[in-house]
Amino acid sequence: MLSLPRRLILGLTLLLLLTAGGGIFAGAALSNSAALDHSHLTREAAMATRDVLAHHVHVTIAIIVFVAFLVAFATACLVLQPLRTAAAAARSIGQGNLDQRMEWSHRDELGAIANEVNRMAVRLRDLRDTEQGRRQMELQLSDAVVQSIFEPIIVTDARGHVLKLNHAADTILGEAAGDRMALTNTPGGERILAAVRDAVSMQRPIAHEGENAILPMRIGNADRSYRLRTTPMRDVDGKLLGAVSVLEDMTELQDLDRFKTRFISVASEKLRGPLESARLGLYALMRGFAGEMRPLQNDLMEGVQQSIENLTDLMADLIDVAEMDSGRRELRSEKVRPIDILQDALIRHREEARKREIEIQISAFADLSPILADRRAMRSVLDNLLVNALRFTPPGGTILLEAEESVDRVQFFIRDTGRGIEADRLPRIFGRFVDSSGDGTGLGLALVRRLIELQKGQVLIESKVGQGTTVSFTLPIAVPTMTRHIIEVG
């Protein structure tokens, strides 16, 4: 088989030969026609001979043109067909068929192109196979990791359809595990679907706190409690694919927490009697009912009295915590005017503020809408916040109690000009037994948050070292009740 350049050269040579042959033949015919004019033939014979000669010339030229056309067509086919075949092979390779090859064995320009394209296809196929193998190994590894995790893991798309489960999640979902709509038919599944919708719409992890964080589920004949955490899932390009929900088993921790709460409750109740007896005895001694006390003895007794007061505060806080954890603390919500609870708090702490040379001010309108709150709970909230503010505000400082109304809530602010709180302590400041000075029980802010959340409110804290602290919380406005009045006609 001829190479591409040789095919082209052969075709052009044949065309040149045909053209040259036609030209020579035409020239010879013209010479013969001219010779007839000088021949001995008659005029009529010469014209007849010239007509025959012209006919032969025309036929010959037509044959030469036809043959030239055939040669040109054959040359074009012989040249273009390999190019078409090469283009088709290159197109197939470009579309992903990396097993396709360009067949051309000659060492010409097309052969060089074919060799390079074939070499490129081999390299791409090897790279693809290597990449697919690597991805397959990564998928197998990630699947093994997910399956080996003890906590149930549920992978869903953006609409909440189940895409993947590990063995622990299969146990929870049971027979419904093979259904993409398994969560809609599973107790507790609606909570998971709601978390998935929140994580996808907000595009951030969702981790509920407090009582809403616990998801009760029944597995067989056993009741289990899980903490739900949901995180959006994205690909390497950042495209949102769905969400991953993890259920952390909290059953044992809840049992331990209930035991702890019960222990605290019993211990606090048992301590109340002896502590009250100690207070009465100390009161009798300091008032001289058992004889006159010396100055040194009075000083010692004052120290003991302060320790008893601190122990009393701790016991009261522990009892409050135990009651709330066990559910025995029932809040009685009623309409309360914001200005009233602020003024009551000011009256309760005015004397302590005067001793510390600190000024307490109120900034709130008297006609703010009443809130729906428990008076005893609000007393505990404001007392804890004011005690902290007084403790950390230096003499000459100011504490401002504010309240302002917004939409369906009233927001309260307790601002002080104290030393502030370090930034690294702020995330855990509402935890239990978090106290930097050692003067308090460490339960105050934890009680504040719990009491506010039980009343459908939220609490926040802002602070900078050297610039004071602001604690704010919101409570819902009491919805006015509609009453019917009898109207007499006439």
CATH number given to 149-249 = 3.30.450.20
Query: Which amino acid type is present at position 66?
Result: F
**If we measure between CA atoms, which residue out of 106, 101, 107 comes closest to residue 85?**
101
* Contact predicate 445/384, CB 8 Å: yes
Per-residue model confidence (pLDDT) at position 46: 60
Contacts of 249 (CB under 8 A, 6+ apart): 150, 151, 224, 225, 226
Tokens 């308090």, located at residue:
440
Residue 209: phi and psi, rounded to 5, are -120, 165
Average pLDDT for residues 321-326, to the nearest whole number? 66
Q: Bigger pLDDT: 428 or 470?
A: 470
Residue in 228, 210, 191 with CA at minimum distance from that of residue 457: 210
Second CATH level (architecture) for the domain 255-326: Orthogonal Bundle (1.10)
> In this predicted model, what pLDDT tens digit does every residue of 190-231 receive, in sequence order?
788 888 888 888 878 877 655 566 777 776 677 788 888 888
Mean pLDDT in residue range 81-87: 72
Q: How many CA atoms lie within 13 A of 253 on its CB side?
A: 7
Nearest to 151 by CA among 250, 242, 12: 250
CATH of domain 334-476: 3.30.565.10
Encode pLDDT of 247-284 as tens digits.
888 877 777 777 776 776 677 677 777 878 887 888 78
Classified as helix, coil or strand, 443 is coil
Residue length of the chain:
490
For residue 234, give every residue at least 6 positions away whose Cβ sits within 8 Å of its Cβ, in sequence order, or none.
240, 241
The b/e string for 408-434 (b: 16+ C-beta within 10 A; e otherwise) is ebbbbbbbbbbbbbeeeeeeebbebee
